[in-house]
Amino acid sequence: MDDLNFCPTCGKNLSPGTAYCPACGARLNDPEGERREKAATERDGGERIKIAVILLLITAAISIISGIYFYVNAAEMADWMANLFSDPALSDDIFGPMEGFFRMTGLLAIIGGAVAITSAFLAYKRRLWFLAFILCIVAAAIGNLIIGLVALYMLYKARAVFKD
């Protein structure tokens, strides 16, 4: 047993050879406790990663499906928007380029889905935490914001179990 001068938990002065802090009851130099704490961190982080991966895959599915829908149906969506207004001249000026807008929106959503899948893969492998975190931010911004933010929180809380 090391001779500690103070308790690492509460800071109380200790006498040499003390196994427990008389003020807070903390066990001093407990390697078994450290192993239990590390195992609990690994277990909790693993559960959080599973939740983040599932949420990211849901975000990816929503983004890709909606992106394909927007891309394929861009002309019909632009026509529908133009038909909302009774003045055809106004409709052509304002809503003429809407088909391109809907196609670009669709492509952006598909890219957001691919980014979410990449983030989910990195999280599943527990590699490159910072990159997985940044990609999750992008996926949340492009895709489903609420689901993406929950996945982002889970990745943040599980950062200790990533390998690098």
Query: What is the tens place of the pLDDT at every residue in 52-80?
Result: 999 999 999 999 999 999 999 988 887 77
**Least trusted range by pLDDT, from 47-51, 97-101, 151-155, 156-160:** 97-101
Q: Considering the chain, what percentage of its residues have pLDDT values greater than 70?
A: 81
d(CA 164, CA 160): 9
Contact 139, 108 (CB under 8 A): no
Instruction: State residue 11's pLDDT score.
Output: 76
Distance of CA 40 to the CA centre of its chain: 21
The more confidently predicted of residues 104 and 144 is: 104
Residue whose C-alpha is closest to residue 7's, from 31, 19, 35: 19
Give the pLDDT band of residue 2 (cuts 50, 70, 90): very low
* pTM of the model as a whole: 0.69
DSSP-derived secondary structure letter, 26? P
Q: Quote the tokens at residue 114.
A: 């691919």
